[in-house]
Amino acid sequence: MICEVEDSETMKATLYGFPLSGFLGVSNEFEKDIPEFVKNSMGGAIYNHKLYPVFNFFKDIKIPVLKVFLIYEKFAIGVTRLITKMTVDELIKSDEGKLKGIFYFEGERVLVVDLGNLVKRSDVYKLSPLKLLHTQKRTPEKEQKTRDTYIILDNTNLAVKLEDVEDIIEVEKMCPINFEEYSGFVSSKDKGIINVKTLVENGKWILITKKGEAFRISNTIVVKGQGIKNSEDGFEYLSFEGKNYRVLR
């Protein structure tokens, strides 16, 4: 796939070539304000209700103009525009570190990026299972300032403040030992061994809070809202689409 990437400062355009191996599709939806546990990314591209971290690996472009996103299995690549698909039989070798090589298209040099190093980065695998909420009605700016960001845990009556989330990881990273209300345990560098409480049977994700708790969950929904404390039980509740969710603390 040949794409063009513009530099927002110089407006100079460079042609890049990307492989179709592992390519899932194209998106033009981009979310800059994404959870902090998707580390070192510029933001996230939204594709099939999932958030794919976008990384800037363009050597000489500090602030690229990103309008279209190529979606791969564990990450996304932002470009300015798509040019064409073509097959290249042989690449010209390049001494530049992040390039597999170069070739020429209509007299213009095309840089072929080595995605191997990008795939190996651990941050790439922190693919968020978030379903981002998009509404037609825009929240007034004054109201936005008084609202917090919450993650609603699908198929439960629970929610958690985004600022209280340490990480969301794949369930494959859990050591499965079923006992009482727990699915097993995970190991955390900062918190040590954490028991994973089962909220959803066969859930594919584990949410870890900054307090050192872990929960087995399915999908999630990110919303802006204002929690209200219940004077009877002391818990905070978030109301969303006619349902009340107890906020984990």
pLDDT at position 220 over 50: yes
Confidence of residue 199 (pLDDT cuts 50, 70, 90): very high
- Whether the per-residue pLDDT at 100 is higher than 90: the answer is no
More confident residue, 137 or 76: 76
pLDDT at 146: 58
* Mean pLDDT, residues 8-18: 86
3-state secondary structure of 27: strand
Q: What is the largest CA-CA distance in the chain?
A: 73
The length of the chain, given as a count of residues: 249
Average pLDDT for 85-101: 78
pLDDT of 123 higher than 60: no
pLDDT band at 119 (very low <50, low <70, confident <90, very high): low
pLDDT, average across residues 201-207? 88
Taking phi over 0 as left and psi of -120 to 50 as alpha, with beta for the rest, 137 belongs to beta
Identify the helix (H) or strand (E) that includes residue 25: strand 23-27
DSSP summary character for residue 228:
E
> To the nearest whole number, what is the mean pLDDT of the chain?
79
pLDDT category at 165 given cuts 50, 70, 90 is confident
The residue behind tokens 């990008």 is 118
Is residue 133's pLDDT more than 80? no
State yes or no: pLDDT of 135 exceeds 70.
no
The ranges assigned to domains in the chain are: 2-125, 136-247
Token pair belonging to 19: 């492989």
CB of 185 within 8 A of CB of 175? yes
